[in-house]
């Protein structure tokens, strides 16, 4: 999960100081809603361009990014607004990420369409058993799967085993800081204008 938090832009700080808590809350809610929509649309647009792993393995995309876009929400109060993406991996938009195993000795990286988007336990439930070649073998870092018997038995390299994976920062996962700031400011200005018109001030 990652949160993108934003505060009042410099150009509006004087104005916000004259508002009560409810007025500031309304402005930050408007800004947060607009930025949330921007983030959702950006992630959804990026998703089709990031299916290269699935395409390379002849697998069906997991839909991870599309699900993240749908689950993205916003919150606001009288001091700030924030957009929350309740999905792993988006920290990479802001910094390099080092992924390490948590409940296992190795990360299992899929190298076959049958293992793409599936954990070892899921394949085991489908009838697969697993083995790794003896230490010193040139494929000792491969987790093989096998199922069936006799001439129908299939043996397939399913996962690459890694102690950790380094992922470089990829800012394009999310809108730029400039886009987020401009969207938030426009939304606040629109809300100010809307309230002003309602009160007969604009």
Contacts by residues 114-121 (CB-CB < 8 Å, ≥ 24 positions apart) = 114/59, 114/145, 114/156, 114/158, 115/145, 115/158, 115/159, 116/53, 116/54, 116/57, 116/59, 116/60, 116/62, 117/54, 117/59, 117/60, 117/61, 117/62, 120/159
What pLDDT shows up at residue 137? 87
* pTM (two decimals): 0.83
- Burial bucket for residue 138 (CB in 10 Å: 0-12, 13-18, 19+): exposed
Reading the chain (202 residues) residue by residue, the pLDDT tens digits are 677 676 666 666 666 666 788 888 988 999 999 999 999 999 999 999 888 889 889 999 999 999 999 999 999 998 889 999 988 889 899 999 999 998 889 999 999 999 999 999 999 999 999 999 988 888 999 999 999 888 888 899 999 999 999 999 999 999 999 999 899 989 988 988 887 777 665 5
What pLDDT shows up at residue 1? 65
What pLDDT shows up at residue 133? 92
What pLDDT shows up at residue 50? 87
Nearest to 16 by CA among 6, 28, 4: 28
């Amino acid at each position: 999960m990652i949160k993108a938090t934003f505060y009042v832009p410099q150009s509006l700080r004087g104005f916000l100081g004259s508002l009560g808590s409810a007025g500031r809350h309304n402005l930050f809610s408007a800004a947060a809603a607009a930025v949330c929509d921007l983030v959702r649309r950006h992630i959804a647009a990026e998703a089709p361009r990031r299916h290269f792993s699935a395409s390379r393995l002849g697998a069906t995309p997991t839909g991870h990014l599309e699900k993240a876009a749908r689950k993205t929400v916003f919150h606001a109060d009288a001091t700030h607004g924030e957009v929350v993406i309740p999905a792993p991996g988006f920290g990479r938009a802001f910094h390099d990420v080092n992924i390490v195993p948590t409940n296992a000795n190795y990360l299992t990286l899929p190298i076959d369409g049958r293992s793409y988007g599936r954990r070892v336990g899921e394949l085991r439930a489908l009838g697969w058993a697993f083995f790794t070649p003896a230490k010193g073998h040139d494929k000792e870092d491969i987790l093989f799967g096998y199922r069936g018997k006799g001439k129908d038995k299939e043996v397939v390299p399913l996962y690459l085993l890694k102690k950790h994976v380094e992922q470089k920062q990829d800012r394009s996962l999310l809108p730029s800081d400039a886009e987020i700031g401009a969207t938030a400011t426009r939304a606040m200005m629109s809300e100010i204008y809307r309230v002003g018109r309602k009160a007969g001030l604009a």
